Homo-oligomer: A and B are copies of this chain.
Amino acid sequence: MVSIHQRIFEDIEARIMSGVWLPGHRIPFEHELVKEYQCSRMTVNKALSALAERGMIIRRRKVGSFVAARQIDRTVMDIRDISTEAELAGHDHSYTILMRKIETLDAATATQLGEQAGAEILRLQCLHAVDGKPHALERRIIMLAMAPSARTENFASVPPGKWLLDMVPWSKARHVIRAVSADAATARLLETERGEACLTLIRQTWRSSRTVTYVEIIHPGDRFQFASDFHPTEKSVTEQLPRRSAT
Residues from chain B with a CB closer than 8 A to the CB of A239 are 58
**When the two chains form their complex, are residues B199 and A198 in contact, meaning their CB atoms are under 8 A apart?**
no
**When the two chains form their complex, are residues A171 and B232 in contact, meaning their CB atoms are under 8 A apart?**
yes
**The residue from B80, B197, B203, B233 contacting A179, defined by CB atoms under 8 A apart:** B197
Q: How many monomers of this protein are in the complex? A: 2
A218 CB to closest chain B CB (Å) equals 10
> CB of A70 within 8 A of chain B?
yes
Residues from chain B with a CB closer than 8 A to the CB of A50 are 53
**When the two chains form their complex, are residues B242 and A178 in contact, meaning their CB atoms are under 8 A apart?**
no
Residues from chain B with a CB closer than 8 A to the CB of A173 are 73, 75, 229-230, 232
**When the two chains form their complex, are residues B68 and A73 in contact, meaning their CB atoms are under 8 A apart?**
no
> CB of A195 within 8 A of chain B?
yes
**The residue from B22, B78, B174 contacting A228, defined by CB atoms under 8 A apart:** B174
**When the two chains form their complex, are residues A199 and B179 in contact, meaning their CB atoms are under 8 A apart?**
yes
**The residue from B58, B70, B174, B247 contacting A24, defined by CB atoms under 8 A apart:** B247
**The residue from B26, B165, B245 contacting A66, defined by CB atoms under 8 A apart:** B245
**When the two chains form their complex, are residues B246 and A22 in contact, meaning their CB atoms are under 8 A apart?**
yes
- Residue interface bits A64-75, CB-to-B below 8 A is 1, else 0: 001111111111
A–B Cβ pairs within 8 angstroms, 8 of them: A19-B169, A53-B235, A67-B242, A72-B81, A73-B203, A173-B232, A177-B227, A179-B180
